[in-house]
Structure 1
Amino acid sequence: MADLETIRCYNQLARQHAAFQRSQQPTAIYRLIETFFHPGAPTIDVGSGSGRDVAWLNQHGYPAIGLEPLPMMIAEARKAYPDIEVRLDSLPELSSIEDASFDNVLCVAVLMHLPPSDLRCAVVHLARILRPGGRLIVSYRTPPPEGERAIDGRLFTAISPAAFTSLLAANGFQLLFLEEIPDHSRPLIRWWNVVAEKILLSGSADCRPVY
């Protein structure tokens, strides 16, 4: 999460954001996890926020750790779920994670907070940390009605599903599932859920923009 205004907002209001996340039950995401993730295999939640999904993963047979870029959110996660492991790290580089470390990678409500220039590099590194045959679940939402910068300052980059799935394909992924669903509490917001599998083709480690 490289956008400084977004970081500031989440750190200042960490308690409120963590409480809101814990109040939501992402039924569609949990359904996708149970359908596509490898049970019992090493799992990571990139951008783990309140810790809700790391706790759920561990409780349902997916041994998981979380990565979170914001110290205040990590503190909230550890307070709510003392038994989970959460490390300080962030997209796009995921610099503390070794290559091919995980069979399951979850990335929910994160990519839309990245500047567009970081999106390609983020996908490169999501591919890098997955083993061949590993599964990736990504969920991201559309911007708020006021535009890509919300009233509170958070960035919500508009991500085209077609462009995103092409980016996945260019970095060694095969698309398994794609859906658009409404946000139940905010009728003007839509979510895109994407499931992909890392195939034997290696993704490029080059994060430079393509012109």
Structure 2
Amino acid sequence: MDPRTLDAYERDAADYADDWHAQPVDGELREAVRRHFRSGPTADIGCGAGRDTAWLTGAGFAATGYDASPALLAEARRRHPGIPFEHAVLPQLAGLVDGSFQNVLCETVIMHLPPEELAPALRRLTSVLVPGGTLYLTWRVSPGDGGRDGHGRLYTGVDAGTVRAGLGPHSVLADEEVTSASSGRTIHRLIVRTAGPSSPPSP
């Protein structure tokens, strides 16, 4: 995780949490999750203040939120008591066991990683899934190599082809650029299902 980005979230966690919870609901995200996720343990990686984790829980998924920012996790626990939130940092995700989740949601997180951390983060996101598990992955589309915003947050220019290659030979369920209903920003959405008895790799 980029240290300056993490520091920005640590400094202003309450303000970010207020902003995220006030944003419009992303109906496309929720529709895609309902269509592609299967019942079972679900990880929300980069959960922030926990809005999506709470929705996943309410939708019937056994969800746990993970984030690199202790301050954001404190906001998540305060706003959504009774839902588990744990500290974990990409790309290592220390403490998460390989093959322990049916679903992983990683919504607009990987563009905060330095370029050299992208490939190991992608491998790790798929390693925690069971065979036949589903990864919902998005990132904000930035021109060129990206840069930093006024708060110091890193927005790496993430190449979709690099992400596809980094995820490996899994079944692609969705691969598209869309406008986020929550932020109004252009994001790339990639949903894949890992190889398993009921989901052979894409040719």
Give your verdict on TM over 0.5: yes
CA RMSD after TM alignment: 2.0
Q: Percent identity?
A: 33
| Structure 2 counterpart of 1:7 | 6
Determine if contact 1:104/1:134 at 8 Å carries over to the other structure. Answer: yes
Residue among 171, 175, 179 paired with 2:172: 175
Q: What do the CA deviations read for 1:103-161 (whole angstroms, capped 9, x no partner)? A: 0000001101001100000011111100000000001112389x511121000011111
Query: For 1:82, what is the secondary structure of its paired residue?
Result: coil
Residue 95 of structure 1 and its aligned partner are, at CA, apart by 1.2
Determine if contact 1:144/1:150 at 8 Å carries over to the other structure. Answer: no
Structure 2 portions without partners, runs of 5+? 198-203
Determine if contact 1:144/1:156 at 8 Å carries over to the other structure. Answer: no
| Structure 2 counterpart of 1:150 | 149
* CA distance, structure 2, for counterparts of residue 58 and residue 186 of structure 1: 22
Query: Aligned residues, how many?
Result: 196
Query: For 2:154, what is the secondary structure of its paired residue?
Result: coil
| Structure 1 counterpart of 2:26 | 26
Structure 1 portions without partners, runs of 5+? 202-211
Q: TM-score if structure 1 supplies the norm length?
A: 0.87
- 1:133 pairs with 2:129: no
* CA distance, structure 2, for counterparts of residue 80 and residue 27 of structure 1: 21
Determine if contact 2:142/2:158 at 8 Å carries over to the other structure. Answer: no
| Structure 2 counterpart of 1:35 | 35
- Superposition map of 1:83-98 within 5 A: 83-98=82-97
* CA distance, structure 2, for counterparts of residue 193 and residue 149 of structure 1: 22
Residue among 195, 198, 201 paired with 1:199: 195
2:53 maps to a residue whose letter is V
* CA distance, structure 1, for counterparts of residue 96 and residue 136 of structure 2: 18
Q: TM-score if structure 2 supplies the norm length?
A: 0.90
* CA distance, structure 1, for counterparts of residue 129 and residue 18 of structure 2: 30
